Structure 1
Amino acid sequence: MTEDEKVVAEMTADGIVGALRWAVASAHTRAWADFDPETGHNQTVLGIAAHTLLADRQDRAFRLEKYISTDDARDQDVLLAGLLPPEQGTMLTVAGVERADLNNSPAWRYGQYRWFLSSFEFGKVHEIAWGRKSPTKRKIAAQTGSDSLDQFVLPGTYEDRVGEGLDPVTLRELLAANERNSVLNIVLAHSLDPDTGATELFLGRPRLNIGGGKPWVWLRSLLPGDGGTGSGIRTDASDSTVPANSADVSDAPVRLRPRVVGQEPDAESAGR
Structure 2
Amino acid sequence: MAEDRVVWDELLAAGFLHALREAHRDATLAVLGSLSRAAGFTERSYGVSAFDVLATWIDRVFEDEPQVVRDDLNGSPGWRFGPFRDARAGTPLAAQGPRAYRVLLKRHEFGNVRGIRWDRDSPTKQAVARQGYVEDPQLELPLGIGHDTPGVVTLVLAHSATDEPLEMELFLGRPRWNADGGTAWHWVRELDDAIGPDPRRKLVERTMPLWDDREADVPMRLRGETKSA
Is TM more than 0.5 here? yes
- 2:172 is aligned, of 203, 206, 215, to 203
The answer to whether structure 1 residue 245 and structure 2 residue 198 are counterparts is: yes
* Deviation (angstroms), 1:28: 0.6
- Amino acid aligned to 2:189: R
Question: Which residue of the partner structure matches residue 113 of structure 2?
Answer: 125
Q: Helix, strand or coil for the counterpart of 1:181?
A: coil
Residues 62 and 97 of structure 1 are in contact (CA less than 8 Å); yes or no, is this contact kept in structure 2? yes
The aligned runs of 1:23-42 (5 Å cut-off) are 23-42=23-42
The answer to whether structure 1 residue 95 and structure 2 residue 66 are counterparts is: yes
- Amino acid aligned to 2:70: R
**Unmatched segments (≥5 aa) in structure 1:** 64-92, 161-173, 229-242, 248-272
Question: Which residue of the partner structure matches residue 142 of structure 1?
Answer: 130
The aligned runs of 1:6-21 (5 Å cut-off) are 6-21=6-21
CA displacement, residues 199-238 of structure 1 (integer Å, 9 cap, x when unaligned): 100100000101210000000111125xx7xxxxxxxxxx
Question: Which residue of the partner structure matches residue 187 of structure 2?
Answer: 218
The answer to whether structure 1 residue 191 and structure 2 residue 157 are counterparts is: no
Share of identical aligned residues, percent? 37
Structure with the largest fraction of helix? 1
Question: Which residue of the partner structure matches residue 81 of structure 2?
Answer: 110
- How far apart in 2 are the matches of 1:19 and 1:32? 20
Distance of aligned partners of 1:50 and 1:159 in 2 relative to their CA distance in 1, 3 Å threshold = same
- How far apart in 1 are the matches of 2:197 and 2:121? 30
Q: Helix, strand or coil for the counterpart of 1:143?
A: coil
Question: Which residue of the partner structure matches residue 53 of structure 1?
Answer: 53
CA displacement, residues 2-44 of structure 1 (integer Å, 9 cap, x when unaligned): 2111111111111211211110010011111222111110011
- How far apart in 2 are the matches of 1:105 and 1:134? 10
Higher Cα Rg, which structure: 2
For normalisation by structure 1, the TM-score amounts to: 0.61
**Unmatched segments (≥5 aa) in structure 2:** 83-99, 202-229
- How far apart in 2 are the matches of 1:133 and 1:144? 18
* Deviation (angstroms), 1:146: 9.6
Residues 29 and 197 of structure 1 are in contact (CA less than 8 Å); yes or no, is this contact kept in structure 2? no
For normalisation by structure 2, the TM-score amounts to: 0.72
| Matched length | 183
Q: Helix, strand or coil for the counterpart of 2:187?
A: strand
CA displacement, residues 212-266 of structure 1 (integer Å, 9 cap, x when unaligned): 10000000111125xx7xxxxxxxxxxxxxx96376xxxxxxxxxxxxxxxxxxx
- Amino acid aligned to 2:122: S
Distance of aligned partners of 1:5 and 1:148 in 2 relative to their CA distance in 1, 3 Å threshold = closer
Larger relative contact order (Cα-Cα within 8 Å, sequence gap ≥ 6): 1
Residues 16 and 94 of structure 1 are in contact (CA less than 8 Å); yes or no, is this contact kept in structure 2? no
- How far apart in 2 are the matches of 1:145 and 1:218? 11
Structure with the largest fraction of strand? 2
Question: Which residue of the partner structure matches residue 181 of structure 1?
Answer: 150
* Deviation (angstroms), 1:197: 2.5
- Amino acid aligned to 1:99: R
- Amino acid aligned to 1:61: V
Q: Helix, strand or coil for the counterpart of 1:123?
A: coil
Distance of aligned partners of 1:25 and 1:139 in 2 relative to their CA distance in 1, 3 Å threshold = same
